[in-house]
Amino acid sequence: MAKTKKHQKHTPLVAGGNDVIKSNLKSYTNYLILSAILLLTIIVFSDSLKNSILTCWDDNQYITDNIAIRGLAFENIRTFFSKAYVGCYLPLTMLTYAFDYRLFGLNPASFHFTNLFIHLLNVILVFIFIQKLAGEKKISTIAALIFAIHPMHVESVAWLSERKDVLYSFFFLSSLICYLNYLKDSFRLKHLFYCLILFICSLLSKPAAIPLPLVLILLDYYYSRDALNKKAIIEKIPFFILAIIFGVILLFTQNKFEAITQTFYFYERFFLTSYAIVFYVIKMIAPLNLCAMYYYPAKSNGFLPIEYYLAPLLIVAVIYGIYKSGVHKKHLISGFLFYLITIILIIQIKPVGSSIVSDRYSYIPYIGLSFIAGYFYVFFVSKNAKLKLPLNLLILCSVLTFSVLTWKRNRVWADSLTLWTDVANKHPNVYHAWSSLGFEKIAHKDYKGAVEAYNVALALKDTVITRNDRGIAQCYLNNFSEAIADFSECIKKDPAFADPYYNRGLALEKLNRNYPEILKDYSKAVQLNPKYLAAYGRRGFIKYVTHDLKGALEDCDKVIELNPNLADSYFYRGMVLFAMERFNDAIKDYDNAININPAMATVFTNRGIAKLKLNDKKSACLDWRAAAEKGDRNAEKYLKSDCN
């Protein structure tokens, strides 16, 4: 019988590394180091706690407009696990939003605190992971420090929509640590089981966790374990099955992304992908001129900018350098492959959206590059003690620089207006930047500034969406003639676009134009978009004031069918029913409106009038008193005339 093959010893990064693997965090020095890193992280990210919830860019879909997070009942939780949000299936992330809301409502500081708190936990996990991996405190310190305060990570921490980024990373890193325990603790299955459970949690937080099985194979390689032996293959099967399942889910959910405005040939995608890989490496070293958007390049005479063609050459040079690195090869391969494996799913191999790269995509991948940085620090210092001082000074300067840049970058994410102002300043020749800035200026009631931003956007590229938005801004400035001109131009360019018809109808109302013309616009809007709630509502109102009560009631019914949770809808239908002398039905609608929004004083007044029509004067007076207490002066008149 053949002898049982002895398990190979794990390869420590530095001589004597195994001596420090035991109970790393029990060391006082480790506690001190981690405490210092965490304190610095809190300081540089403290400004993020003052930031708002963005009015756009997914925060509204995840948080402010998401009714599901406003409760933790079974139905809410089932919604999280049965629905994709903004093209992603992330039920655990949605649960954390619900917990935030349960504790503090829509308080932005509480949401931002949770993001920062999870980031701090991730800093600890990076320290533990690298120390278990390398067996060297200096490497884990450098890696954790870079991870903690790197300016590229501001987007993941300061943007509430990227809760999924910090949360999936928490489970991802925890899973990797469990796998290291599995490798180091005689392959005890409990560690592999924990690794699998944490992988599932990571997948349920963000699909970016899908490459984890490949990282497990990479860890096998780093520890000189044969990844092709039967045991190693079998143990990975559940991980790959889960990765495939969630990969399929990802394909089905990511079908609503905005298409890019420029077509790239297949071979050009190779250069775009190569550029993205190089981009993150460069920003790791020099995180300057960061932006929430990095737009796809404009072609010149059919060619991409020169840097896109140089990117593959740089990658080849790096690969060749690693191949020739001799004693460093395993560590360089491990660090660089960790970077590539964890970033490959999220770089834009297939161009979608408007941005070729994003700062947030560096969150986990930078751990691999930080590992390499820490490794070379230890190597050079161990070879030449004279290098310790200059290298320490370099680290100190880097920490100070990164801290200042991160502090400043947090302020850019203060709200949607500061964010898009920064984007427009850094991309002055991109219409999308100015169009988005105009949208945010409307949200912040700077309507003149919005028109100015839209003017720049339209000068760069005339689109119906931007022109329609400029028309909206003109309406807020009471420039209704200019607004109607914009809406009419939109309709001329794209007759199938419903919004300009609705908006033109609103502008015509303000100019007191004839009602048939207004009704025609609203009717066209609902014809093009049968679920256009606002258009049904306005058309119903116009029918009401023109005494088409039957038509008004039909439109009110449609509005409530589309959204039964709006108090105004029941209020207006109650008015129509009152005009039709259906007083009992009107009272029922007023009841519904009050149940949804008890602060609506006018509803109490109108319900009182309806009750008076039914000779219920006592109840009517109670309603008018309630309305008067809420500030309705009309109710006071009824109290004086009918309730003395």
Instruction: Report pLDDT for 103.
Output: 94
- Superfamily covering domain 575-644: Tetratricopeptide repeat domain (1.25.40.10)
Q: Which two tokens stand for residue 558?
A: 């449609």
Closest CA to 217 of 315, 361, 358, 341: 341
| Confidence band, pLDDT 50/70/90 cuts, at residue 6 | very low
| Confidence band, pLDDT 50/70/90 cuts, at residue 8 | very low
Segment holding 245, helix H or strand E:
helix 230-253
CATH 1.25.40.10 domain extents, the chain: 422-510, 514-563, 575-644
- Got the DSSP string for 314-327? HHHHHHHHHHT-GG
**Angle made by CA atoms 165, 170, 172, in degrees to the nearest 5:** 90
Residues 221-255 as b or e (16 or more Cβ within 10 Å = b) = ebbebeeeeeeeeebbebbbebbeebeebbeebee
Segment holding 435, helix H or strand E:
helix 431-443
Q: Which two tokens stand for residue 545?
A: 């004031």
Instruction: Report pLDDT for 13.
Output: 44
Candidate from 37-46, 149-158, 451-460, 622-631 with smallest mean pLDDT: 622-631
- What is the distance between the alpha carbons of residues 278 and 4, in angstroms, rounded to a whole number? 45
3-state SS record for 53-90: CCCCCCHHHHHHCCHHHHCCCHHHHHHHHHCCECCECC
| Confidence band, pLDDT 50/70/90 cuts, at residue 23 | low
Instruction: Report pLDDT for 4.
Output: 38
Residue 209 and residue 203 in contact, taking contact as beta carbons nearer than 8 Å: yes
Candidate from 345-349, 380-384, 437-441, 519-523 with smallest mean pLDDT: 345-349
Q: Which two tokens stand for residue 449?
A: 């500034």
Instruction: Report pLDDT for 86.
Output: 87
Check pLDDT > 50 for residue 421.
yes
Check pLDDT > 50 for residue 14.
no
Instruction: Report pLDDT for 256.
Output: 52
Check pLDDT > 60 for residue 443.
yes
Which residues is 85 bridged to in the sheet?
88
Instruction: Report pLDDT for 12.
Output: 44
User: Pairing relation of β-strands 355-357 and 294-295?
Assistant: antiparallel
Q: What is the pTM of this model?
A: 0.86
| Confidence band, pLDDT 50/70/90 cuts, at residue 353 | low
Q: Which two tokens stand for residue 573?
A: 């239908």
Phi, psi of 356 (to 5 degrees): -75, -30
Residue 308 and residue 337 in contact, taking contact as beta carbons nearer than 8 Å: no
The arithmetic mean of pLDDT across residues 568-596, rounded, is 96
Instruction: Report pLDDT for 87.
Output: 84
Candidate from 276-285, 522-531, 614-623 with smallest mean pLDDT: 614-623
State the Cα torsion 584-586-592-593 to the nearest 10°: -150
SS3 content of the chain, % helix, strand, coil (to 5): 75, 0, 25
Kindly report, residue by residue over 98-111, the tens digit of the pLDDT: 999 999 999 999 99
Check pLDDT > 90 for residue 48.
yes
Q: Which residue has the higher pLDDT, 113 or 254?
A: 113
CATH of 422-510, one of 3.40.50.620, 3.40.50.300, 1.10.10.60, 1.25.40.10: 1.25.40.10
Kindly report, residue by residue over 280-338, the tens digit of the pLDDT: 999 999 999 999 999 999 888 889 999 999 999 999 999 999 998 888 899 999 999 99
- What is the distance between the alpha carbons of residues 591 and 571, in angstroms, rounded to a whole number? 9
The arithmetic mean of pLDDT across residues 161-181, rounded, is 97
The arithmetic mean of pLDDT across residues 442-471, rounded, is 96
Residue 477: strand, helix, or coil: coil
- Report the percentage of the chain scoring pLDDT > 70: 94
Kindly report, residue by residue over 542-557, the tens digit of the pLDDT: 999 999 999 999 999 9
Residue 224: strand, helix, or coil: coil
- What is the distance between the alpha carbons of residues 22 and 132, in angstroms, rounded to a whole number? 9
Residue 49 and residue 113 in contact, taking contact as beta carbons nearer than 8 Å: yes
| Confidence band, pLDDT 50/70/90 cuts, at residue 254 | confident
Q: Which two tokens stand for residue 250?
A: 């990802």
- Got the DSSP string for 173-222? HHHHHHHHHHHHTTT-HHHHHHHHHHHHHHHTT-GGGTTHHHHHHHHHHH
- What is the distance between the alpha carbons of residues 132 and 141, in angstroms, rounded to a whole number? 12
CATH architecture assignment, domain 514-563 = Alpha Horseshoe (1.25)
The arithmetic mean of pLDDT across residues 216-229, rounded, is 92
Segment holding 158, helix H or strand E:
helix 154-158
Check pLDDT > 90 for residue 2.
no
- What is the distance between the alpha carbons of residues 538 and 544, in angstroms, rounded to a whole number? 10
Segment holding 115, helix H or strand E:
helix 108-134
Q: Judging by beta carbons within 10 Å of its beta carbon (0-12, 13-18, 19+), is residue 579 exposed, middle or buried?
A: middle
Task: Share the mean pLDDT of the chain.
Answer: 91
Residue 489 and residue 462 in contact, taking contact as beta carbons nearer than 8 Å: no
The arithmetic mean of pLDDT across residues 359-378, rounded, is 96
State CA 109 to chain mean position distance.
17
Instruction: Report pLDDT for 49.
Output: 96
Check pLDDT > 60 for residue 20.
no
Q: Which two tokens stand for residue 608?
A: 């009182």
Closest CA to 209 of 267, 169, 182: 169
Instruction: Report pLDDT for 255.
Output: 62
- Report the percentage of the chain scoring pLDDT > 90: 81
- What is the distance between the alpha carbons of residues 625 and 629, in angstroms, rounded to a whole number? 6
Helices (H), 480-632: 480-493, 498-510, 515-528, 533-545, 549-562, 567-579, 583-596, 601-613, 617-629
Closest CA to 138 of 388, 337, 334: 388
User: What letter does residue 97 receive in the DSSP assignment?
Assistant: H
| Confidence band, pLDDT 50/70/90 cuts, at residue 258 | very low
Contacts of 162 (CB under 8 A, 6+ apart): 115, 155, 156, 360
Instruction: Report pLDDT for 514.
Output: 82
Which residues is 355 bridged to in the sheet?
295
Candidate from 55-64, 65-74, 451-460, 468-477 with smallest mean pLDDT: 55-64
Instruction: Report pLDDT for 348.
Output: 54
